[in-house]
Amino acid sequence: ETGVTQTPRHLVMGMTNKKSLKCEQHLGHNAMYWYKQSAKKPLELMFVYNFKEQTENNSVPSRFSPECPNSSHLFLHLHTLQPEDSALYLCASAPGETTYGYTFGSGTRLTVV
């Protein structure tokens, strides 16, 4: 256990479905991140939240909608996804100060059918 918990671990959804990914940390970190990891591609930063405020949206399509109700929880709401959105979605958190590195969750393996 890394201290960052992601649920569900696996998700299969149709292109017309709506689902949400959840990330939770109780490390006292102030920054939280969503990354996308596709096969044979580098890690792609999607969203950044600092102190619950979104500070970066890395040109992510609107079918991905993040939500950060508090510093401990981060959601990624999904709707009308495409098969190419199938990937491992990783959540990470960090203290939010100088860089001590991130703590990652185990990820949600998403398959869009």
Partner 1 sequence: AQKVTQAQTEISVVEKEDVTLDCVYETRDTTYYLFWYKQPPSGELVFLIRRNSFDEQNEISGRYSWNFQKSTSSFNFTITASQVVDSAVYFCALSDGNNNDMRFGAGTRLTVKP
Residues that bind partner 1 (CB under 8 A): 2, 4, 31, 41-43, 45, 48, 50, 55-56, 88, 90, 92, 94-107, 109
Q: Least separation, in Å, of the C-beta of 24 and partner 1?
A: 14
Beta bridge partners, 70, equal: 73
CB of 25 to partner 1, least distance (A): 12
CB atoms near residue 31 (< 10 Å):
17
C-beta closer to partner 1: residue 1 or 84: 1
- Least distance to partner 1 from the beta carbon of 21, Å? 13
Distance between CA atoms of 106 and 12, rounded to whole angstroms? 17
The torsion angles phi and psi of 58, rounded to 5 degrees, stand at -85, 60
Residue placing its CB nearer to partner 1 in the complex, 60 or 88:
88
Nearer to partner 1, 2 or 80 (CB): 2
In the complex, minimum distance from the CB of residue 16 to partner 1, in angstroms, rounded to a whole number: 27
CB within 8 A of 94, min separation 6: which ones?
A: 29, 30, 31, 32, 33, 100, 101, 102, 103
Measured from the CB atom, the residue of 66 and 105 that comes closer to partner 1 is 105
At a CB cut-off of 8 Å and minimum separation 6, what does 87 contact? 36, 37, 38, 39, 110
